[in-house]
Structure 1
Amino acid sequence: MPLKWMPLKWNEAPQLPRADGRIEAIDLARGIAIGLMIVSHSVSGLVGIRNVPDWGMVPIHFLTKFSSSLFILVFGVALAVAFLSHVYREDWPKRRLKLWLRAVEVWFWYKALLIIEMLPFYTPSEIVDALLYGRFGIWVEILGFYAIALLWVPLILPLWARAPLWSRLAVIVGLTSLTAWLQGLSFGGNDILKALLVDHEDHYAWGQISRAPLVLLGLLLGEALLRCSSDPALKRRLTLTLLGLGALMVGGFYASALVGGDVYAAMLAVANNEGKHPPGLAFMLFSLGGALVLFALALAGGTKAAKALMPLTIVGSDALKAFIFHIVMIFLVLRFLWQGEGMYTYPQALGVGGLLILGAALWIWGTRWMAKHR
């Protein structure tokens, strides 16, 4: 029986066909996540959240909260598509080394961009303290998460590739429960360690354990995507399932807000990042639910949507380069060299965010064109 028709069984380990080239829907979904992130960073970096008008917080800044969950979710999807099917093949050691070298590259840029972020407002000793993990920044800490995640993910992929479905689901549930339990511990007063592992309310770091369920969920989605990529009917079923699940989660957020008695206050709390670090139930219902909806829409749009939204697709095809570009432009050029913090209105900051998305796409395309024609 062809692989694409095989029913999914609870005791079945992943069985993945090889991806036939890049899947543009993944690039588009990642590009949407980065685009929302760039808009959010443009506003928070140039205007400041406290100076955003109410109509900007809800709905605009509110909707950017899909970004973080979508970014991490697509990270897991891309790992499944590019690496999971290779863990028991001869080329796995080379691919594993590629992931570890990527971790070093991401870690380097994390530290370099951390300096750029902190330049205007921190002393050299405070910057050195951050470089040595004595404190954290804000806007570049997601790179710190990826740098560490790329160290442990290659170690668990071989185990994940032979684990039955029920155990993979149990791991996701177990890690989520473990995160909730660890949040109640003091970690011996070591707030930095707690932030690195499970988030801390006084730091903007992304906890490895608390965000691992999103990565692993992405692995499951990547497996599902590969299984149905050559079958339009199965792909539609997957898309509708993700749309329904995402809508149900967003609906759960609004239902809890109605129970609380003030829907707008709940939306404003999410827009102000309440429940983001550490992850709270209301925030994650909205953020992850929206991420699943956006990912489903990217799958439904497929190649046509990827071409129609080409700047976002290009940005999503090289996330690290896009991230470097927008941080350098916002914090080094606009905020530090041009001393632009507080000089922009909220609509102007939104415009800057849009231009930076286009600029990042042009930068990626241009560097590829130059490399190709050397």
Structure 2
Amino acid sequence: MIRLNQPPQLPALSPRVDAIDLARGIAIALMILSHAVSGLLGIRQVPDWGMVPIHLITKFSSSLFIIVFGIALAVAFLPKTGAADWPQRRLKLMLRGLEVLFWYKALTIVEMLPMFTTQDIVDALLYQRFAIWVEILGFYALALLWIPWTLPLWCRMPLWSRLLAPVVIGVLSVMLERHFHFWDSVILKALLVEDADHYTWGQLARLPLVMLGLLIGEAILRCYGEPSTRRRLVAALAGVGAVFLLGFVALSLPELDEALLAVAWNAGKHPPEVPFMLFSVGGALIILALCLLGGRSAARWLKPLTVIGTDALRAFIFHIVAIFLVLRLLFDAWQVYSYPQVLGIGLMLILLAAGWIAFMRWFREHSR
């Protein structure tokens, strides 16, 4: 029986869950598809039938990626926060954050080379401005440097406070974004709660999604081992996702078509607004529910996506280098291809990223 005053109940579970890898792989695949379109063609060149439904569906990716980040922290690290070796595990997470931070800065150069001056690139490296397509990696890097310090506190919090925390942080983030001046530092504001003039993922603005992932991760630890409890978890996630999507529809009526098009155009994405987040998080939860329902069988049938999910950083590096360094800079492929061709390139990059990860894994295993 679940009690609102109890701390997390965290039974042991393998840190490598195929369904989580598949969900992460779907998030990255949708991101690759979106980046291929916007990076090679530009959103303004996308036909209406491409904006809705194709480009619209890619709006699930960012929320799904951040939620799965929280789930992975819960499954792999929350049960270990009280162990004697927790400082070493925390250090491992932070070193991973430094690795991601390095690649974030390296890929910032790659992204900006075809379009910006040297001074613009230097400014971005020094946090005086921001890129666009690689900023989700910047969020991930900074989060890995500070969130590990909070995980033991999360494990001591009663359930009612863990359930309330995402709401409190979300409201606080909105209030700060709208009413606090951040000592006249737009960059600090963008990093913490986001700013309309910068395409960033704020640490506080997106923290509720990480917390949601932690809560789902706790539920996976408790429920995933038994088919009956897993089905209840799947039903709960799908139900909440459906409620979010219905909430989006209710807010959008009677101009639902215009609202869908606005979401496809990223209206309300940065800083996050309620309609966009209802749509994005609702779709993400339904995808996650389907992955958990399919389990190992779905992960096997969708093997390329699962492979991408096992090494998301390598997949992210691969597609940014392919789009901006190879295609845009070396082959001058900006607005050269039609929308269907760009979609084909995006799908090809998904398969190539999976192949690259599999090859590098094979190479490491046979080069020892």
| TM-score (structure 2 length as normaliser) | 0.98
Match status 1:254 vs 2:249: yes
Counting only pairs closer than 5 Å after superposition, residues 341-352 of structure 1 correspond to structure 2 as: 341-352=334-345
Letter of the 2:257 partner, please give it: Y
Match status 1:186 vs 2:185: no
Question: Once the two structures are aligned, what percentage of the paired residues are identical?
Answer: 61
Shift of 1:188: 3.2
Matching residue of 1:222 = 217
Matching residue of 2:333 = 340
Q: Distance in 1 between matches of 2:343 and 2:279?
A: 22
Q: 1:51 aligns with which of 34, 45, 54?
A: 45
Letter of the 2:9 partner, please give it: Q
Shift of 1:170: 2.0
Shift of 1:21: 5.1
Shift of 1:204: 0.5
Matching residue of 2:99 = 105
Q: 1:198 aligns with which of 159, 169, 193?
A: 193
Matching residue of 1:172 = 166
Q: Distance in 2 between matches of 1:52 and 1:326?
A: 20
Matching residue of 2:65 = 71
Q: Distance in 1 between matches of 2:264 and 2:220?
A: 31
Q: Distance in 1 between matches of 2:103 and 2:61?
A: 20
Cα gap change, 1:253 to 1:371, in 2 (>3 Å): same
Q: 1:276 aligns with which of 269, 277, 282?
A: 269
Matching residue of 1:118 = 112
Matching residue of 1:4 = none
Letter of the 2:292 partner, please give it: L
Q: Distance in 1 between matches of 2:12 and 2:133?
A: 35
Shift of 1:83: 0.4
Q: Distance in 2 between matches of 1:103 and 1:364?
A: 20
Q: 1:306 aligns with which of 293, 299, 323?
A: 299
Match status 1:362 vs 2:355: yes
Q: Distance in 1 between matches of 2:144 and 2:12?
A: 21
Q: Distance in 1 between matches of 2:174 and 2:119?
A: 34
Letter of the 1:155 partner, please give it: W
Q: Distance in 2 between matches of 1:215 and 1:111?
A: 23
- Match of 1:238, SS? helix
Structure 1, unpaired ranges of 5+: 1-6
Matching residue of 1:94 = 88
Q: Distance in 2 between matches of 1:278 and 1:143?
A: 17
Shift of 1:296: 0.2
Match status 1:239 vs 2:234: yes
- Match of 1:183, SS? helix
CA deviations 1:224-249 (Å, max 9, x no partner) are 00101211111000000110110111
Letter of the 2:216 partner, please give it: L
Q: Distance in 2 between matches of 1:269 and 1:323?
A: 26
Shift of 1:180: 1.4
Match status 1:211 vs 2:206: yes
Shift of 1:189: 2.6
- Match of 1:223, SS? helix
- Match of 1:235, SS? helix
Counting only pairs closer than 5 Å after superposition, residues 21-60 of structure 1 correspond to structure 2 as: 22-60=16-54
Structure 2, unpaired ranges of 5+: none
Q: 1:327 aligns with which of 298, 301, 320?
A: 320
Shift of 1:160: 0.4
Q: Distance in 1 between matches of 2:258 and 2:185?
A: 33
Q: Distance in 1 between matches of 2:175 and 2:227?
A: 42
| TM-score (structure 1 length as normaliser) | 0.97
- Match of 2:150, SS? helix
Mapped contact 2:139–2:201 kept (Cα < 8 A): yes
Letter of the 2:43 partner, please give it: I
Root mean square deviation, CA, Å? 0.8
Mapped contact 2:14–2:76 kept (Cα < 8 A): no
Matching residue of 1:82 = 76
Shift of 1:121: 1.4
- Match of 1:130, SS? helix
Shift of 1:187: 2.1
Matching residue of 2:310 = 317
Q: Distance in 1 between matches of 2:319 and 2:22?
A: 18
Q: Distance in 2 between matches of 1:101 and 1:326?
A: 23
